[in-house]
Amino acid sequence: MHSREVIQKHLKSLQTLNYSPFRWWRNYSVSKTLPKSTHIEKRINNGDFDPSPYFWMAQSALWEKYDNDNAGLEPFDRARRGGLLLSKYERLMTDHYKDDDDKLNNFIDAMYDHFEVDKLLVEEEIKSFGSSVKDYYIYANTKYIVRRVAPKRRGRPKKVNI
């Protein structure tokens, strides 16, 4: 479990949410991602592939549970609230794992669309790279050839004369 100062440092950049009965376990909103058609460098700078903030929300829920266990509540109230906070932690960790997997797959797809490289190779390199997403993009930019894609045209294709 991380210290409260580290958790608050990561959570202060997020916007707090009002209570929602449908997403009661979330306290902060997550920033919106840019469309997939946006250049990969802009998406990296926007933070589309950064680690999931749900991890830090879950760590905050653990501290809430710790405070609840040490509070001077009746045993029944403390147990009921502790179970609720534990459920909050589990849901946030589930969101974290799902969000992290989605971000990794989106990053691999974006690298595949931008460079002439195989997806499996990108996935293996990411696992062994051990640095930030931006550093890996700079590394890939020097190593791989940028894919030259014809501009997408709207409407019906031109008629071919034989």
> What pLDDT score does 69 carry?
64
User: Tens digit of pLDDT for each residue in 68-103?
Assistant: 666 666 665 666 666 777 888 888 889 889 999 999
Distance between CA atoms of residues 65 and 83, nearest Å: 9
Q: Is the pLDDT higher at 31 or at 134?
A: 134
Q: How confident is the model at residue 160 (pLDDT cuts 50, 70, 90)?
A: confident
Is pLDDT above 90 for 25? no
Q: What is the pTM of this model?
A: 0.73
Q: How confident is the model at residue 61 (pLDDT cuts 50, 70, 90)?
A: confident
Q: Facing residues of 146 across strands?
A: 115
Distance between CA atoms of residues 120 and 19, nearest Å: 41
